[in-house]
């Protein structure tokens, strides 16, 4: 097959796999970021995305308290610990996450009424100066549906940030093609001094994901 030549790893156990899962596995096996993440001890290739966003926007400079929404598997929380060792870090997820040194992990819905008290306790009463979210809804293969489901999560994350951030704080979240919905963009611009979109180099070229970066929370 043309273009499938040298250096490519083929999926040998494609039997009983769907075409989609075979393509995903093939992509993983040939992804340099996946290999780098494994070699460097990061839990996911997504760690490089946060590092690249931090390099560009200075997200982790001087932060004292960080909340990672949808923390599993933990790559972003690892980056925060590495680049901002002084910060208190809390990760929240419905899924169980293997322990990360220096990170308080809460296995719960961040919209749960009990989340606020647990978060406050974990941060020692401090308000976070950074809320990060690499969450995406489980995809169903229909672009518009997938976009709407993920934007629902982003909207929830935005309101979480608005309710919890300290003045001057920042918010970062994954969005998809089409960027941030107009209403959500209005909300962000009302509450933050700068709102930008970025696609870090580690984000796959064929992926429709982007990130929204809102800085200078007005409080």
User: 97-126 b/e with 16+ CB inside 10 Å = b?
Assistant: beebeebbbbeeebeeeebeebbeebbeee
In this predicted structure, the answer to whether residue 9 has a pLDDT above a threshold of 80 is no
* Token output for 129: 């100066």
Q: Does domain 43-217 match CATH 3.40.50.300?
A: no
Is the model more confident about 209 or about 58?
58
Is the model more confident about 113 or about 202?
113
Is the model more confident about 185 or about 92?
92
> In whole angstroms, what is the distance from residue 107 CA to residue 95 CA?
6
Above pLDDT 90, what percent of the chain?
Answer: 61
Is the model more confident about 131 or about 183?
131
Q: Catalytic: 199? A: no
Q: How confident is the model at residue 46 (pLDDT cuts 50, 70, 90)?
A: confident
Q: What mean pLDDT is reported for the chain?
A: 84
The domain ranges of the chain are 13-42, 43-217
Q: How confident is the model at residue 119 (pLDDT cuts 50, 70, 90)?
A: very high
Catalytic residue among 174, 182, 199, 218: 174
pLDDT tens sequence across 146-202: 767 778 889 999 999 999 999 999 999 998 765 567 888 899 999 999 999 999 988
pTM above 0.75, yes or no: yes
Three-state secondary-structure class, residue 210: strand
β-pair partners for 105: 91
Is the model more confident about 127 or about 30?
127
* Token output for 151: 């934007």
């Amino acid at each position: 097959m043309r273009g499938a030549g040298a250096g490519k790893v083929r999926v040998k156990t494609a039997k009983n796999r769907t075409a989609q899962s075979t393509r995903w596995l093939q992509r993983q096996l040939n992804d340099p970021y996946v290999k780098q993440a494994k070699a460097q001890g990061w839990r996911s290739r997504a760690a490089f995305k946060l590092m690249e966003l931090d390099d560009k926007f200075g997200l982790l400079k001087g932060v004292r308290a960080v909340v990672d929404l949808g923390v599993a598997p933990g790559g972003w929380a690892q980056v925060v610990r590495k680049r901002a060792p002084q910060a208190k870090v809390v990760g929240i997820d419905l899924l169980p996450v293997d322990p990360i040194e220096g990170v308080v992990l809460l296995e719960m819905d961040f919209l749960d009424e009990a989340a606020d008290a647990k978060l406050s306790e974990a941060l020692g009463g401090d308000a976070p100066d950074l809320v990060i979210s690499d969450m995406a809804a489980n995809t169903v293969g229909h672009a518009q549906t997938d976009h709407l489901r993920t934007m629902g999560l982003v909207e929830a994350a935005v309101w979480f940030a608005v309710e919890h951030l300290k003045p001057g704080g920042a918010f970062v979240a994954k969005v998809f093609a089409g960027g941030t919905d107009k209403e959500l963009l209005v909300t962000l611009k009302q509450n933050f001094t700068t709102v930008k979109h970025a696609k870090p180099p580690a984000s796959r070229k064929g992926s429709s994901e982007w990130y929204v970066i809102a800085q200078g929370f007005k409080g």
